[in-house]
Amino acid sequence: MSAVRTYLDHNATSPLRPEAREEMMRALDVSGNASSVHAEGRTARALIEAARTKIAALAGAAPRDVVFTSGATEAANWVMAQPWQVVLVSAVEHAAVMAPALRCGARVEIIPVDGAGRVDPEGLGELIDAVCGDGGVSVAGAVLVAVQHANNESGVVQPIAKIAEIARERGVRLIVDAVQAAGRVALDQRGQGIDFMVLSSHKIGGPQGAGALVIGNEASIDPMLVGGGQERSLRAGTENVAAIAGFGAAAAASERDLARSAHLARLRDTLERDLKRATPELIVIGGAADRLCNTTLVARPGARAETVVIGLDLAGVGASAGAACSSGKINRSPVLAAMGIGEEIGKCAVRFSLGWTTTEDDIAQCVSAWERVNKTRSGARAMA
């Protein structure tokens, strides 16, 4: 295995930022409980509230609307556990949203997507109208729409502003998984009137095990945990001050790095161009749509994703299969199936996701590794 690693899997976990590490170390030296009124407790509380302000700025939200959780999965499950009558969930949602939606006990409707994985806002409006008119569903507080801001596999960005407008006009609630979009596109939770926004620390260079649910001014939610007054009495329990502090530092750095989006997009485009030059038959999935600046999902027909990913890993490049991985087995991606991509191409999907550590040298090393892996594979096939 190569001694020098090239890490291009930021959509899975982005390496811990120096700013986050520094803030966490500072927080670990604080001995107080954030609920205590003495000086040590007030110091811990100040770290939490400073982080809340930074995360709110990244989300385009008010600080008081940010509630800390253990991660995005917890936040999504919390929202889905509310007493909805109907949940409409896009066909390309992350499993952290889709799985609890399917188990929430409400009537579930799948929102279709086009070949690029995008939701049609007008079609969504028609679906909401049909659902609310079918069976006499009472709209107020009873219907939830779930549409992610950007897809974790393809990077395709949804027209969230229009979707939020459609939801508001019809009086239904909207949850937006903004995990992949945070720090890569500007978020505007309050301006767009998004009822619930889900965020994750480790996707933006913060520590693992921290996340947030942003709750809109007009939305309400039953407490997740009771027994204490923490987090506006919505999630009881002593806060993980160090993780929250690191999350806040990563959020501030990610907001600053929004200015680098064009640079990351150029690196992504260079990667796609050079991969295609090396393997002309390459397919860039979702390439014609509006995508995150850092994400590319490619497939070389006939080259199974797990084989390519293992080969890249041995060559010193960390990437991932486009399909979800469970217990070491690569399964067909529901996202690609919803986009109408055939199973044979879907099994070949490999995702590269760039981030704050990515350099031009990383792109060159990735392309070199790709060429070696595909050359080896072609040679082995010729000998077979």
Length of the chain: 384
Q: Token pair for residue 318?
A: 């960390």
Task: Report whether pLDDT(2) > 60.
Answer: no
The separation between CA 284 and the C-alpha centre of its own chain, rounded to angstroms, equals 20
Task: Report whether pLDDT(336) > 90.
Answer: yes
**Mean pLDDT value across residues 85-98:** 96
Confidence band, pLDDT 50/70/90 cuts, at residue 383 = very low
Task: Report whether pLDDT(330) > 80.
Answer: no
- Coil/strand/helix, residue 157: strand
Confidence band, pLDDT 50/70/90 cuts, at residue 242 = very high
Task: Report whether pLDDT(378) > 80.
Answer: no
Handedness of CA 160, 162, 163, 164 (dihedral sign): positive
- Catalytic-labelled residue, pool 104, 132, 325, 348: 325
Task: Report whether pLDDT(325) > 90.
Answer: no
Domain 6-15+259-383: which topology? Answer: Aspartate Aminotransferase, domain 1 (3.90.1150)
What is the reported pLDDT for 141? 72
Between CA 296 and CA 277 the distance in angstroms is 15
Whether 325 is catalytic is yes
Confidence band, pLDDT 50/70/90 cuts, at residue 382 = very low
State percent of the chain over pLDDT 90: 90
**Mean pLDDT value across residues 30-54:** 97
Handedness of CA 334, 340, 344, 348 (dihedral sign): negative
Task: Report whether pLDDT(123) > 50.
Answer: yes
Q: Checking DSSP bridges between strand 317-318 and strand 6-7, what pairing results, if any? A: parallel
Domain covering 18-256: architecture:
3-Layer(aba) Sandwich (3.40)
Q: Which sequence spans correspond to the domains of the chain?
A: 6-15+259-383, 18-256
Task: Report whether pLDDT(354) > 90.
Answer: yes
**Mean pLDDT value across residues 64-83:** 98
What is the reported pLDDT for 322? 67
State percent of the chain over pLDDT 70: 93
Of 6, 11, 25, nearest in space to 205 by CA? 11
What is the reported pLDDT for 377? 63
* Residue 276: half-sphere exposure toward Cβ, Cα within 13 Å: 13
User: What is this structure's pTM?
Assistant: 0.94
Confidence band, pLDDT 50/70/90 cuts, at residue 375 = confident
pLDDT digits (tens, 9 = 90+) for 285-320: 999 999 999 999 999 999 999 999 999 999 999 999
**Mean pLDDT value across residues 42-59:** 98
pLDDT digits (tens, 9 = 90+) for 143-180: 999 999 999 999 999 999 999 999 999 999 999 999 99
- How does the average pLDDT of the chain come out, rounded? 93
What is the reported pLDDT for 4? 84
Instruction: Tell me the β-bridge partners of 67.
Output: 213
What is the reported pLDDT for 338? 96
